[in-house]
Structure 1
Amino acid sequence: MSALLLIIGLLLMAMRPAEATQSPTCNASNKTITIPTVAITPGQSNGPIGSAVQATISIDCYPAYTNTPNYYDSFNVQTGQLAPLDSASTPPAGGGILFQTNIPGIDVLLTAQTVQASSGNNGPNGTPGWSIATINCNFDSGVLNGQNCSPDPVSVTFTAQLYKTGPTTPGKITSLTLLEIFETDTVATPPSYWGQTIYYSGASSSFGSLKLNTVNVSMSTCNVAAGSTNLSVTLPTVDVNALPTTGSVAGQKSFPIQYTCPSGWALYMTMSTANPAAATGVILPSTSCAAGSPATNVGIQLLQSNQQPVQFNTAQSVGNSPNGTLNLTYYAQYYATGSPIGAGQVCGTATFTMSYQ
């Protein structure tokens, strides 16, 4: 009797299930989402910006099931290895995940179907992520090879869109791997006479991913006020005696330049002319005056708002743009380029260019 009990004990030990550290991997593809260039307008409110782009990943766990000796396997397909999240901002009412980008004030909003994207601890091995679907596989004598998985394959559709969360600047969003795909194989306990069963203590390795390509973020150009695009500044008539020596000035007149830009940009003004004089900021008179003989030994000098002469072809700082219309004041005045002054008309042309960073 003791010998028979010993044999039975050995048989029971042989039936004891084995354990593996990782679940087998299902099959899926790597997908990349490419968002077109996004332009942000001055004063644009927080929220979605630009176009929403979709990508669909199909997941097949039948090959993983056929690679196990088990008769029952439930594959819980999960997302994990999420890119850095924006913990300071809340996704919109529809849900989803906000991923940080390298540009402050710009996130990536990711949503998913049929299960909404979330960042709870439902990813592989309890890490951040969410469960996409469960694929149940079992022995079925009514199908080829006696193996069946349902539903299989399953598909998940991701939608990505840029999302403005605060003040921002133009730039390029660097490429991000938003998430990877894993699965956890949960094995039902079969009858003991079905042979050895393998249980898995951990999630599979990654077998798919969703990546975001680089995205260019631009800002709308400054909007110049209609009255500032083609300015005509008329200087007062002065007597030639008001310019007694070379370098004398007279007849100063102010003129405004108005435009709007996104708040906080560093702005620069560059002025140029086709007829510069030797003196700083002075335009030599043009021969295209409407009527009469041009004055001699006199030009037009342009001054910045601080009364300093404009340096042609040099970007000069005008400070940061405000929240609203920026008003700049410039000045024009006669400038004696030689002596004596000859009476007549004086006219000249300058072009201004605004740049920002």
Structure 2
Amino acid sequence: MRLIFGFFLSFSLLFSSSLDNTIHQKNKELKLKKIEYRKMDKKLSKIAKKILTAKKEQSDLEKKIASLEKNIKNNEEQYINLKKEGEKLSKDLNRINSKIASKQDKFVGLVAKNFSMALALEELKEPTKDSVIMQEMYEVYAKRNSVAIENLKREIISLNKKQASLKEKEGLIKLEIATYTNERLDYTTKKKEKEKLIKALARDKALYKKRFNRIKKSRRSLERKLAKLKIIKQEQKDAIEAKRLKAKNRKDLEVEVQNNRDSSVSIASYRGGKTISPLKGSRLIKKFGTYIDPIYKFKIFNKSITLKAPYSGSKVRNVLKGKVVFSENSGGMLGRVVIIEHARGIHTIYAKLSRLAPGIYVGKQLSKGSVIGKVDKSLMFEVTKDNKHMNPLKLIHL
């Protein structure tokens, strides 16, 4: 058995040595890709927010424009009615003014023609019989004429007030119509801008889908690594059996449910105590379990949690005593990945590491709290137990 183990160990070292040159050449490319993926991560969240915000704003603008159209129509009808009523009042005022002027002219003419002598004689204190009669007739006529004139004056005052009120209303309605018209123009312009934005977001949507597919591909890459280590897909077997099943396992891994709709994921139960967080001072930004994509509305099962680092270069620690069974720079979304095997069938997976601590290699025994590496922005942390996924928050304190 030792001879067989030695053979496999020698073969692994030889194979690793032959890849050293290739890995060295790819390191620069992986670093550049890492920068690119970070930018795309930031862009991804912005696109999702923009799409939802633009759709809501477009809907609100359409409602406002419809309301303004209704208000303008109602005010225009009211304005036309007031204008007609104002024109009628103007005609009535002109008619009454003419009537008053006619009566006043008639009265003045009568006084001048028929009563001038009577007034003159009265002032001279030499009245005659005829002048006295004429004076009395004048007083009666003047009284009647004065009453009629006062009535006309009151009527004119009332009409003037009504006309002033109508003019005030007319002015207010004109102002409202102008305001609504300007708002309608403004909202129409904004609506056109939103239509352009929606078209632009349609292109961004394609980018979102492409980005999502890359994330899914990275997820599958990690699954293949986990399956290769016999953590999820199968229990550990000897090297001969693993080689025989290699092709079948790869095929099984490729048959992943479209859009990652994993409703059949086995969840491990855990009733043990909790341990330390792998990232001190972090906060949870992505939960374990099923969530709904904000744009495409399909369900996605997230098999890990994502912790936001308190600062760039935050240290990542091993949460339980165990042995390193996998350590690799996967590039892309996952960055550097470390998998540690613990007691009771538990494995912990640490992804998105920006750098590894010195001395982290496969076979390395680690105590609880040992530093395994650092992260720039966030850590993807996953836990499996007895070949099943497990909610990491049941194992660690935050």
Higher relative contact order (CA 8 A, sep 6+): 1
Instruction: Report which of the two has the higher share of helix.
Output: 2
> Which entry has the higher C-alpha Rg, 1 or 2?
2
Q: Which has the higher strand share?
A: 1
**What TM-score results when the alignment is normalised by the length of structure 1?**
0.18
